[in-house]
Structures are given as C-alpha cells and as structure tokens.
C-alpha cells in the first residue's frame, strides 16, 4: 500500500483554464491536463525564478518531489506545443 499523500501548499489560482492552438475547435483536439501542483511548481520555478529547493520549501514538499513534478509539467507543456494539443488546467 502506498504512503498517504502529504497535502501541498498551493497559492496560485489561475484566471484561465484552457489554452489551445488557434483556429482548431476544442472538440477536435487532444488534451494535456496540468494538475494544480504542477502549475504551482511551474510558476514558482519558471515565472518567480526560485531555485528548486526554495520552491519546494514554499510548497512544503521535498526537493526530489519538486523536481519530479517540474519534470512532468515541462514534458506535458512541451507535448502540447509540439503536437498541437490543448492544455487544460485542472481546478483545485
């Protein structure tokens, strides 16, 4: 049985929940779903410019966990851009 998940400290609440390629109806696109903790990690590291250790402390998780989350979200965003998928931001 896996260890219980520790609640993460999430402060960022986006104003939009979808991004998609222009000119293609959403119903025709595949989606990539960004989880709230992935979006928070992306914001802290890429937008706020925090080092992984600082960002992990803000989210109240370990640095290796933060690195895994960051790697996952970067891969998802890259897939969406390269393959022309919609990005859905899951609400908290």
pLDDT digits (tens, 9 = 90+) for 27-77: 999 999 999 999 999 999 999 999 999 999 999 999 999 999 999 999 999
3-state secondary structure of 33: strand
Sheet holding 86-89, edge to edge: 18-19, 86-89, 31-34
| Domain residue limits, the chain | 18-89
Which CATH architecture is the domain 18-89 placed in? Orthogonal Bundle (1.10)
pLDDT at 7: 72
Q: Which two tokens stand for residue 38?
A: 């992935």
Mean pLDDT of 4-8: 73
pLDDT at 10: 75
Compute the distance between CA of residue 62 and CA of residue 79 in angstroms, rounded to an integer.
26
Compute the distance between CA of residue 39 and CA of residue 77 in angstroms, rounded to an integer.
10
């Amino acid at each position: 049985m896996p260890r219980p998940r520790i609640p993460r400290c999430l402060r960022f609440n986006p104003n939009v929940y979808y991004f998609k390629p222009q000119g293609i109806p959403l119903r025709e696109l595949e989606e990539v779903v960004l989880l709230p903790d992935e979006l928070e990690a992306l914001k802290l590291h890429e937008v706020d410019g925090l080092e992984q250790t600082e960002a992990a402390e803000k989210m109240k998780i370990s640095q290796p966990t933060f690195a895994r989350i960051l790697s996952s979200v970067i891969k998802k965003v890259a897939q969406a851009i390269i393959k022309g998928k919609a990005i859905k931001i899951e609400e908290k």
